[in-house]
Structure 1
């Protein structure tokens, strides 16, 4: 079976930056990543590279910023009251954390400066502006369940956890 829209693709990956430094590696977690293709659950460049692949395929793909996390926007900073952060007292410049948004979503931010009552954050994704290379090993491709299609993402063994 080949990977395409509405198929669940399971794969191991090693992610490196333009200098070859390993940024992330699914092998360290022992469990591969499973994604429902065609629903925007991973960056576009990697999703496109998975299309047409089958279990057992291995490949490398380099993804430019416009197909990954976009270009950096140097003006994308914001001052946020400390009360919106968990463990605000422990935050320091350079840390990354997740902010809950009023819309119900979440955003990864990088701490720029911690003040007495507010925190300055960089709203760019930490990998914005980066050219990324993925070494991928596809371990499985399967039809998505009706529930996965309804929820628009893959579920792990035993169903969903949300």
Structure 2
């Protein structure tokens, strides 16, 4: 079977980024814990899926995504100050920690703490991988058609199609 719209794909990958012109390993999904997703429904980065379209079970892949095709370029306007009063009696977060936040409309998102000043906590609202080119190397383990239930839910229910909710 070929990877196509509404198929459930299980794959392995090694993910690398670059630091000082050197590739740096970030994470992996292996055959015991593959990445399983519903193809073509917006769950994955569009260019990631574009590079996988048409591959078959057992096919290996090796491709690069530029930052703008991955999590975007770093936007300095997404770095902001949160007043320390916002934290009340809570312990101040540590530099590089991730804060769960919510806006006035109830949307949830995360921010990475960059700095703590006398009056504020400076956070970065960019995705942690914003500004980074990505390099994926992996193999397609399985491909199957999505079930009606998976299509209705908008996500895969595991490599074999079963998952409890």
TM-score normalised per structure 2:
0.82
User: Would you say how many aligned residue pairs link Structure 1 and Structure 2?
Assistant: 156
Q: Deviations over 1:15-55 (max 9, x none)?
A: 0013211011113x931011111111111221111111111
Cα deviation, residue 103, structure 1: 4.5
Instruction: Give the 3 Å change call, closer, same or farther, for CA 94–151 of structure 1 in structure 2.
Output: same
Q: Which one of 138, 144, 147 corresponds to residue 145 of structure 1? A: 147
Instruction: Give the 3 Å change call, closer, same or farther, for CA 107–20 of structure 1 in structure 2.
Output: same
Instruction: Give the 3 Å change call, closer, same or farther, for CA 121–145 of structure 1 in structure 2.
Output: same
CA RMSD of aligned residues (A): 2.4
Report the Cα distance in structure 2 between the residues aligned to 1:52 and 1:46, rounded to whole angstroms.
Answer: 13
- Equivalent positions of 1:13-162 (< 5 A) are 13-18=13-18, 19-27=22-30, 30-80=32-82, 81-82=86-87, 89=91, 91-114=93-116, 119-156=121-158, 158-161=162-165
TM-score normalised per structure 1:
0.83
Instruction: Give the 3 Å change call, closer, same or farther, for CA 15–97 of structure 1 in structure 2.
Output: farther
- Largest Rg, 1 or 2: 2
Cα deviation, residue 102, structure 1: 5.0
What's the secondary structure of 2:43's corresponding residue? coil
Report the Cα distance in structure 2 between the residues aligned to 1:151 and 1:117, rounded to whole angstroms.
Answer: 44
Q: Give yes or no for contact 1:3–1:53 (8 Å, CA) kept in 2.
A: yes
Cα deviation, residue 139, structure 1: 0.4
Which runs of 5 or more residues in structure 1 are unaligned? Answer: none
Cα deviation, residue 104, structure 1: 4.8
Q: Which moved more, 1:62-71 or 1:88-97?
A: 88-97
